[in-house]
Amino acid sequence: MSRRGLERAPCPIARTTGLVGDAWTLLLLRNVSFGQRRFGALQRALGAPRASLSRRLARLVEEGLLERRRYQDRPPRYEYHLTDKGRAFFDVLAAMWRWGEDWLFGERSAEVALVDRRTGRPVRPIVVDEETRAPLALGDVRARFGRANA
């Protein structure tokens, strides 16, 4: 299925994959989430080709996850800031963080930790049901095909 096909798919996972389903986009969102906002800094940190980085940033702005804010007039320079939609994507990044930490490092720990801003203690994200606040596991849910609210 093409990326454009994914963007029109009836499944939320498919549509999200169509928007952010490549490494550069996810890493951009990660870095902007943690305060890296300028093109040059993002490029250096990620090692992404300029053209790839430009395309992905433009797409994230177009889709409303990021907004450009001018920080210099001559020459014009911009920073990228998360919108509410972009901040909401942190839930996805946190779930990916936890999965990667649990399954991709074996006996050693990751060199990068997600820590509480106030206490500095490591945090371990989990996915919970918004209504009950109970942790979700695959055995607790099923997919219902058709309209979600039907």
User: What is the C-alpha to C-alpha distance for residues 137 and 54, in angstroms, rounded to an integer?
Assistant: 37
20 class by beta-carbon count within 10 Å (0-12 exposed, 13-18 middle, 19+ buried): buried
CB 85 within 8 A of CB 64: yes
Mean pLDDT of all residues in the chain? 91
Instruction: Determine the residue type at 143.
Output: A
pLDDT at 46 over 60: yes
Note the pLDDT of residue 137: 93
Per-residue pLDDT tens digits for 77-105: 999 999 999 999 999 999 999 999 999 99
Please report the DSSP string for 7-41 in residue order: HT-SSHHHHHHHHH-SHHHHHHHHHHHTT--BHHH
Using DSSP bridges, classify how beta strands 77-82 and 66-72 pair: parallel, antiparallel or unpaired.
antiparallel
State the pLDDT confidence band at 3, using cuts at 50, 70 and 90.
Answer: low
Q: What is the pLDDT of residue 88?
A: 97
**pTM, two decimal places:** 0.86
Closest CA to 101 of 76, 128, 122: 122
The pLDDT value recorded for residue 6 is 86
| Cα–Cα nearest to 16, from 68, 52, 63, 67 | 63
What pLDDT, on a 0 to 100 scale, did the predictor assign at position 148? Answer: 62
Residue 140's pLDDT is what?
A: 92
Domains of the chain: residue spans and CATH: 3-140 (1.10.10.10)
Torsional sign, CA 89, 58, 40, 110? positive
Q: Which three-class secondary structure state does DSSP give residue 79?
A: strand
